[in-house]
Structure 1
Amino acid sequence: MRTNTLLLCCLTACATTGPAVPEPPSLAEFVRPEVTQDDLELVVKLTRDLIQVRSVNPPTVEGAQGGEAALAKVLVDFFKGHGIDARVQDIEGLPGRPAVIAGLKPKHPRKRPLLLLGHTDVVPAVAEEWRSKDLPFSGREEAGEIWGRGALDMKGMLAIQAVTMVQLKRLATQSKSYRLDRAIYFAAVPDEEDLGRGARWLAKNLEALFGEVPEYGINEGGFGLKDLLRPGQDVWAVSAAERGHHWLRLRVKRQSGHAS
């Protein structure tokens, strides 16, 4: 992920957007004034810390045992260090592979909650396929980019969501003109890259966890395009969608491979 495009998009999505501009905005124009340099540096540090945790799925991969639980602890410690209620949440049927639940709750919410949703696991990384064997779980920063498995899918996004929670808490406690009108929850689940059992557990327990079903969820999605409009002008898309399901049974007799 590029450190010069860490815009804390979750905070922007929670607020009223400004008028359209004829030319693509610069980074300085896009970042809201509430986003400080300290916030951006905190996102970078947390992203690197998360990448360095080998939360590989399946956890049977060598060196991956307990990775999702270790990453959950990093997130919970981060939240608690910034005064935000958070806990490691065990999941029935997934021993040793917990979720993370955190929340900001106003005294008198007027709207249903907003959920910042993510996953803690990443696909395996074959070190020999990277330009250096120590790169996959290094979180190395080079030329304004952070390298490592999960930088995009989706430890960078987890860091953005977590720091957004810190920002919202700061604004709600320090600004007399800023008040949360709904609870903001964070949930990071395991097993997204394999069978999706963490997300299924979450969907079944929304009311038990949050008191009611959140009105909106912000999850990973969209994509980035380099130099799309002009040299040096990267575009990061936001997807807005609802999903249903339709089960099919397919049989393919070929050598298998991974897709995500």
Structure 2
Amino acid sequence: MTTMSCRRHSCFISVVLLLLVLVVVVPSSVAIDSILSRFQQYLQIDTSHPSPNYHQAADFILSQAKSLSLESQTLEFVKNKPLILLKWTGKNPHLPSILLNSHTDVVPVEPHKWSHPPFDAAINHQNGNIYARGSQDMKCVGLQYLEAIRKLKDSNFEPLRTIYISFVPDEEIGGHDGAEKFAKSKIFDEMNVGIMLDEGLASPEDNYRLFYAERCPMWLVIKATGAPGHGAKLYDNTAMENLLKSIESVRRFRASQFDLVKAGLKAEGEVVSVNMVFLKAGTPSPTGFVMNLQPSEAQAGFDIRVPPIADQASLERRIAEEWAPASRNMTFEFKQKVSVYDENGKPIMTGHDSSNPWWSLLEAAILEANGKIGKPEIFPASTDARYFRLRGIPAIGFSPMANTPILLHDHNEFLNKEEYLKGIDVYVSILKAFASFVEAEKDTAAFRDEL
């Protein structure tokens, strides 16, 4: 072969290799841009309270469902609060189905305290962070479900079990007009759900966090009463004095629980947390408060969270006897009180060991996707999962965000784009495992008995 021929041959090979690179790389890059663009579009819809734009979010989700050829229906248990339910029918629809749940609403923002506009969903090209309200809590998960299904459909995967995807309203204000009504509905009964996934938390470490239960809220208001008196007079049993005694008692209890966490003896979700959220007292005046009048009433509100491993009855006795005793002219009421027990008197928890095949499948699927797993946890706050656990459905909290600071409800909430993309692949692995599983049908009743 002549030198000229060799050069031509070498040039031809180089061109072929370049074309191969372009065929492989360019579509991949385009696909990633499209995935991130869809996430940004969802984040840019302002669904923050008190006026979430639910209908715009619903329209977006429905457009995505159409592009994926998923069945869809819009449910309104309460007017103007649409719940979107999508369905990917499995080859054996008689098997218990899979429910992937997420909420469309987000908490309010203080835009002037953000370094990036909270609904621009801008990507910082230096570090790859996507800054937006809902990037962690929890629009990421809702879109990751759909992107995972897109990848599975592109690979011609056919689920054995039916997969449902629900996008519910109002989680951030209790879920009463969303998930709670959904879980109690005839529509939900007909879905024959065998396992449900909901939100978890970001992990600052390189492992993912899995939640098998959550703390239940007890929102307590303590009220003290007493005779009004001159601001200079000293006398016993004033409203303010009695309330301060209660606040100090609550503070000591809080410190004892917090010490267990600080010492590493218990996780945050395993202790009873108590935080004072308001203090109301005094006699208003045109310039503020009357300074020479001791008030006849004083109130304080507390956000209490109780794990299902705690003795809730003992805590209620403590409230009645120590924090708000009638002997000190005190009363109390619960603005909300959720029991840690189901209707059979058992703690509301999902099995989180080999006795629950769904848990084992989830762990194996995460490991298969090169993820790491931390110790099973109790979610420190409340999620919509509680309404499904009350129905006896195994429910697991999981948001695939490792190496990520916990910023839900915080300023400058963000999720790194690489972490978001990796989470999609994790869900691909999970859905493959869940949707192909055939042995759980005969054990479903046993799982529910264990809850």
Deviations 1:88-144 (A, max 9, x none): 2222xx321101110100232363111110000001111111124xx1000101121
1:213 corresponds to which of 178, 186, 192: 192
Matching residue of 1:45: 37
C-alpha displacement of 1:238: 3.0
Is the 8 Å Cα contact of residues 136 and 148 (structure 1) preserved in structure 2?
Answer: yes
Q: Which residue of 2 aligns with 1:17?
A: none
Counterpart of 1:222 in structure 2 is: 201
RMSD over aligned CA atoms reads: 2.8
Do the aligned partners of residues 141 and 105 (structure 1) sit closer, same or farther apart at CA in structure 2, a change above 3 Å counting? Answer: same
Counterparts of 1:155 and 1:42, CA distance in 2:
16
Tell me the secondary structure at the aligned position of residue 180 of structure 1. coil
Return the alpha-carbon distance in structure 2 between the equivalents of residues 56 and 161 of structure 1: 21
Aligned counterpart, 1:190: 169
Residues 240 and 127 (structure 1 numbering): CA distance in 2 closer, same or farther, change over 3 Å? closer
Separation in structure 1 between the aligned mates of residue 122 and residue 163 of structure 2, nearest angstrom:
31
In 2, Cα distance between equivalents of 1:221 and 1:185: 19
Q: Give the direction of change, closer, same or farther, for the CA distance of 1:53–1:123 in structure 2 (3 Å limit).
A: same
Q: Secondary structure at the match of 2:209?
A: coil
Q: Which runs of 4+ in 1 moved over 6 A?
A: 255-259
Contact 2:46 2:119 in 1 (8 A): yes
- Give yes or no for contact 1:43–1:160 (8 Å, CA) kept in 2: no
How many aligned residue pairs are there? 201
Matches within 5 A, 1:166-177: 166-171=150-155, 174=156
- The superposition leaves residues 174-205 of structure 1 with CA deviations (integer Å, 9 ceiling, x where unpaired) of 2xxx4312001100100011121211012112
**Matched residue of 1:240: which SS?**
strand
Task: Give the Cα–Cα distance (whole angstroms) in 2 for the partners of residues 195 and 58 of structure 1.
Answer: 13
**Residue ranges of structure 2 left out of the alignment (5+ in a row):** 1-27, 223-275, 281-300, 304-407, 410-451
1:70 corresponding residue in structure 2: 56
Asked if the contact 1:120–1:189 (Cα under 8 Å) also holds between the matched residues in 2, the reply is: yes
1:202 alignment partner AA: F
CA offsets per residue over residues 157-189 of structure 1, 9 Å max, x none?
Answer: 111011122233333xx2xxx431200110010
- Normalising by structure 1, what TM-score? 0.68
Distance change (3 Å), C-alpha of 1:165 and 1:246: same
1:131 is paired with a residue whose SS is: coil
Deviates more, 1:246-255 or 1:196-205: 246-255
What TM-score results when the alignment is normalised by the length of structure 2? 0.41
Q: Structure 1 residue 87: deviation in Å? A: 2.7
Which moves more between the two structures, 42-51 or 192-201?
42-51
1:217, 1:95 → 2: CA distance? 26
**C-alpha distance in 2, partners of 1:78/1:257?**
42
Partner residue, 2:180 = 200
Say which SS state the counterpart of residue 187 (structure 1) adopts: strand
| Other-structure match for 1:140 | 122
More helix by share: 2
- Bigger Cα Rg: 2
Instruction: Identify if the C-alpha distance between structure 1 residues 103 and 168 changes in structure 2 by more than 3 Å, giving closer, same or farther.
Output: farther
**The one of 254, 279, 284 aligned to 1:254:** 279
Among 185, 208, 216, the alignment partner of 1:237 is 208
Instruction: Give the number of the structure whose residues are more often strand, by fraction.
Output: 2
Whether the 8 Å CA contact 1:39–1:163 is kept in 2: the answer is no
Give aligned-pair identity as a percent. Answer: 21
